[in-house]
């Protein structure tokens, strides 16, 4: 670099202050606006009085309604309550196919190659 450029850089570098004093990290990420799910959670967390004077959250009222439907034989409500309360049942998937050639015996590799029209002896 020429001396003139170095002098200009030194002069201007002191003037460049990307952040305000007392805020070394900058403004940061702006606050996320309330989403629909945030609004629904807040609404369902609110308490209401039932006809018999009991204080319940709207979520508790919904769960009671779902329970009544499940008891009266609605299978979708039964499934929903059980899934939400205890988690969905894990499905086991069994495969009989080997994952890679490293898992196969030499005979299995030869059979695989033969199945696709490749002579195993031509590779060895």
Mean pLDDT along residues 30-35: 78
The answer to whether 3 touches 11, Cβ cutoff 8 Å, is: no
Closest CA to 62 of 89, 80, 79, 37: 80
Distance of CA 76 to the CA centre of its chain: 25
Indicate whether 124 belongs to any domain.
Answer: no
Report the percent of the chain where pLDDT is more than 70.
71
Pick 64 or 103 by higher pLDDT. 64
Q: Which residue range forms the structural domain that includes residue 45?
A: 36-91
Indicate whether 3 belongs to any domain.
Answer: no
Token pair, residue 27, equals 């403004």
Indicate whether 71 belongs to any domain.
Answer: yes
Indicate whether 58 belongs to any domain.
Answer: yes
Range with the poorest average pLDDT among 1-10, 51-60, 93-102, 114-123: 1-10
Token pair, residue 122, equals 């031509």
Token pair, residue 72, equals 């009266």
> DSSP states of 50-111 as a string?
-TTS-EEEHHHHHHHHHHHHHHTT-HHHHHHHHHHHH-PPPPP----S-SSGGGS-HHHHHH
For the chain, the domain total comes to 1
């Amino acid at each position: 670099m020429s001396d003139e450029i170095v002098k200009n850089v030194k002069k201007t570098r002191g003037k460049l202050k990307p952040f305000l004093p007392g805020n070394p990290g900058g403004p940061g990420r702006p606050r996320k606006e309330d989403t629909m799910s945030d609004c629904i959670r807040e609404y369902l967390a609110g308490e209401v009085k039932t006809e018999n004077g009991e204080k319940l959250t709207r979520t508790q009222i919904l769960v009671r309604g779902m329970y009544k439907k499940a008891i009266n034989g609605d299978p979708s409500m039964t499934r929903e309550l059980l899934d939400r309360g205890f988690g969905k049942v894990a499905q086991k998937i069994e495969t009989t196919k080997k994952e890679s050639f490293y898992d196969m015996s030499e005979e299995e590799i030869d059979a695989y190659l033969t199945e696709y029209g490749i002579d195993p002896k031509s590779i060895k």
